[in-house]
Amino acid sequence: MNIVGPEVHKCFTYGVVKNEQGEVLNKSRFENSEENFDSFLHGFKPEETKIVMESTSV
């Protein structure tokens, strides 16, 4: 199982993907857009990946 931890800001996101052992598989800062989120998550199977988000007011 992969865990995605995005830190979403108004104009950009810091994203990290880790596996169950805590190893970083992907880490990036990108501008908020559907295309950039898709690019960041490319290659990670939805059935093997969970996204965890903090509460936000954005």
Given a contact cutoff of 8 angstroms between Cβ atoms, the answer to whether 20 and 28 are in contact is: no
Whole-model pTM: value is 0.85
* pLDDT tens sequence across 18-51: 999 999 999 999 999 999 999 999 999 999 999 9
User: What's the Cα-to-Cα distance from 15 to each of 10, 33, 46, 58, rounded to whole Å?
Assistant: 14, 13, 16, 16
* pLDDT tens sequence across 33-42: 999 999 999 9
